[in-house]
Amino acid sequence: MTTIIGIAGSLRRGSYNAALLHAAAALAPAGCTIEAAAIRDIPLYDGDLEAAQGLPASVTRLKERIAAVDGLLIVTPEYNNSMPGVLKNAIDWLSRPAADIARVFGGKPVGIIGATPGARGTVLAQTAWLPVWRTFGMRPYYGHSLYLAGAAKVFNETGELIDADMRERLRAYVEGFAAFAARP
């Protein structure tokens, strides 16, 4: 069984990126599960808090889940042509202490997809994440790309992915990434 943790980088109730992660999980091929992890409980990074109390329990829990799974699927919004702060903040906490990065992230397959109501499908946000994966020594998946533009027309009001072409593209992405993340 291949297990993938998915993190959607938005706290918004009607988040297109959370809906995209939900759709990706539903399209996971046989032998693969995609679990959604929440980042709502992760506080703003504060080095004083870390020095005084160590990592918040929400961070430790998610770190250990990531360490245990075969792959990480990041579903990123795009803010001001880059990654959103709420998701970067979570990833920054998860990278602490730096001595743990290799154990938690090193060599781990990472996929990145994203959705926006805008026209360019989060291309710049996805690209902005690449130096972070390089810093962590991760293995980014380059077999497919998925840039979901015009999200208001691609999802319905309940967050279902109703565009047939996008569903097929997401299915191909998820199948390819699941095979990439599968242990040999």
Contacts of 7 (CB under 8 A, 6+ apart): 21, 36, 37, 39, 72, 73, 74, 75, 87, 90
Contacts of 107 (CB under 8 A, 6+ apart): 137, 138, 139
Which residue among 81, 135, 143, 162 contacts ligand FMN (CB under 6 A)? Answer: 81
Residue 54 sits in the site that holds ligand FMN (CB under 6 A) = no
Q: What does each C-alpha distance from 171 to 32, 108, 126 come to in angstroms?
A: 13, 21, 19
Measured from each CB, the residue nearest to ligand FMN is 118
Select the span of 12-20, 27-35, 57-65, 100-108 touching ligand FMN (CB under 6 A). 12-20
Are residues 90 and 113 in contact, defined by beta-carbon separation less than 8 angstroms? no
CB of 17 to ligand FMN, least distance (A): 3
Collapsing DSSP to helix, strand or coil, 22 comes out as helix
Residue 80 sits in the site that holds ligand FMN (CB under 6 A) = yes
Q: Of 5 and 151, which has the nearer Cβ to ligand FMN? A: 151
Residue 79 sits in the site that holds ligand FMN (CB under 6 A) = yes
Which residue among 2, 4, 17, 112 contacts ligand FMN (CB under 6 A)? Answer: 17
Integer Cα distance of 29 and 105 in angstroms: 24
Residue 78 sits in the site that holds ligand FMN (CB under 6 A) = yes
Integer Cα distance of 56 and 95 in angstroms: 13
Collapsing DSSP to helix, strand or coil, 121 comes out as coil
Select the span of 8-16, 26-34, 47-55, 129-137 touching ligand FMN (CB under 6 A). 8-16
Which residue among 10, 69, 154, 155 contacts ligand FMN (CB under 6 A)? Answer: 10
Q: Of 32 and 113, which has the nearer Cβ to ligand FMN? A: 113
Q: Which two tokens stand for residue 89?
A: 């903040």
Q: Which residues bind ligand FMN (CB under 6 A)?
A: 10, 12, 15-17, 77-81, 116-118, 120
